[in-house]
C-alpha cells in the first residue's frame, strides 16, 4: 500500500502508468560539497586557495542537478543551512553556474591546466558523478572514493579528505545550531577553521535574544560563503508512492507518521 525512497525514474514510471499516488516531498536534508580550506588533508592541497574554492563553486550547475536528478521539490541552497531553520538566511554571497569564471579563477590560482584530486562520497552516487563531470569540464579531474558513511566519517575526522560530497538532515531540528554550528565550531567536522565564524556561532548558540542570534548567524553564514568553505548544493527530496485509497501526507523530517494517515 505504501512505498518510500522510490528512485526518481521508477516514480516517473508509476506516474505514467497511473498505478498509484506519487509525491515528491522536500526534506530538511541538504547536500553539500566541503573543501579543505584549513589544509587538514596535507601539504599541496589546492583547496587552501580561495580562488580554487570559488572555481569549484562556479563550475557546478546545481540547478540542473536538482531539477533533473534529485526531483521536482528540490531547490538550490545558497547558505550552510536549511531555509526554514531559525537563523538561516539565503542573503549571502552566491555563486552562479559560470564555467568560464571557474576557469579564470583556476588560472589566477596557478592552475591554468587544472589539477587532479580525490572526491569522497557515500550516497546518491549519480549526484556525485554529475558534479565530477562539471568539474572535469573546467579542468579539475576527480578520483571517486565511494564508501559507507561510517568509513567516510572516520576519514573526515582523521584529516584525510580534501573534497567531500556529504549530506546533513539536522536531526529534524529547525534551528541553525543543528547544522552550521555542528560543522564550523572548530571541531572534528570543521574543514574551514575560521576563528570569527567560531566566535559568531557561539554567540548565536548561547544567546536567547532572537535578534542577537539572527545577527550572529548572518555574520557567520556570510563569511562561510565569502570564503567558500562549503558549497551548499541543494535540498534532498524523497519520492513516496501509495495506493490511491490511502490519505497520507509526508513531512520534511522524513519520519512517516502513519497514525495521521487514513483510508479514504
- Strands 262-263, 163-168: pairing kind: unpaired
Question: Tens of pLDDT along 148-206?
Answer: 999 999 999 999 999 999 999 999 899 999 999 999 999 999 999 999 999 999 999 99
pLDDT value of residue 253: 86
Question: Tens of pLDDT along 88-137?
Answer: 999 999 999 999 999 999 999 999 999 999 999 999 999 999 999 999 99
Question: Tens of pLDDT along 207-229?
Answer: 999 999 999 999 999 999 999 99
Question: Tens of pLDDT along 25-72?
Answer: 999 999 999 999 999 999 889 999 999 999 999 999 999 999 999 988
Give the model's confidence band at 11: pLDDT under 50 very low, under 70 low, under 90 confident, else very high.
Answer: very high
Q: How far is CA 98 from the centre of its chain?
A: 19
pLDDT value of residue 254: 86
Q: How many CB atoms lie within 10 A of CB 209?
A: 9
Under 8 Å between Cβ of 80 and 183: yes
Task: Assign residue 32 a region (left: φ > 0; alpha: ψ between -120 and 50; beta: otherwise).
Answer: beta
Under 8 Å between Cβ of 127 and 165: yes
Q: φ and ψ at 137, to 5 degrees? A: -65, -25
Q: φ and ψ at 30, to 5 degrees? A: -125, 150
CA dihedral of residues 13, 29, 191, 57 (deg, nearest 10): 50
Can you tell me the mean pLDDT for 238-262? 94
Amino acid at each position: 500500500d505504501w512505498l518510500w525512497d522510490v528512485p526518481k525514474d521508477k516514480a516517473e514510471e508509476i506516474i505514467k502508468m497511473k498505478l498509484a499516488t506519487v509525491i515528491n516531498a522536500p526534506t530538511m536534508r541538504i547536500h553539500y560539497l566541503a573543501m579543505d580550506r584549513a589544509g587538514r588533508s596535507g601539504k599541496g592541497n589546492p583547496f587552501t586557495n580561495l580562488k580554487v574554492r570559488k572555481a569549484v563553486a562556479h563550475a557546478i550547475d546545481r540547478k540542473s542537478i536538482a531539477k533533473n536528478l534529485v526531483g521536482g521539490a528540490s531547490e538550490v541552497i545558497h547558505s550552510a543551512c536549511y531555509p526554514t531553520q531559525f537563523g538561516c538566511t539565503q542573503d549571502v554571497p552566491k555563486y552562479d553556474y559560470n564555467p568560464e569564471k571557474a576557469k579564470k579563477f583556476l588560472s589566477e590560482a596557478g592552475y591554468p591546466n587544472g589539477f587532479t584530486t580525490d572526491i569522497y562520497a557515500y550516497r546518491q552516487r549519480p549526484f556525485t558523478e554529475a558534479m565530477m563531470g562539471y568539474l572535469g569540464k573546467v579542468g579539475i579531474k576527480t578520483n571517486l572514493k565511494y564508501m559507507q558513511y561510517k568509513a567516510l566519517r572516520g576519514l573526515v575526522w582523521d584529516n584525510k579528505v580534501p573534497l567531500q560530497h556529504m549530506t546533513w538532515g539536522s536531526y529534524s531540528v529547525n534551528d541553525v545550531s543543528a547544522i552550521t554550528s555542528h560543522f564550523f565550531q572548530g571541531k572534528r567536522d570543521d574543514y574551514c577553521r575560521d576563528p570569527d565564524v567560531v566566535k559568531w556561532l557561539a554567540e548565536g548558540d548561547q544567546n536567547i535574544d532572537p535578534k542577537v542570534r539572527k545577527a550572529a548567524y548572518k555574520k557567520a553564514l556570510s563569511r562561510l560563503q565569502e570564503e567558500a568553505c562549503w558549497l551548499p548544493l541543494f535540498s534532498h527530496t524523497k519520492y513516496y508512492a501509495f495506493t490511491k485509497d490511502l490519505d497520507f501526507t509526508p513531512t520534511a523530517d522524513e519520519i512517516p507518521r502513519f497514525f495521521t494517515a487514513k483510508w479514504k
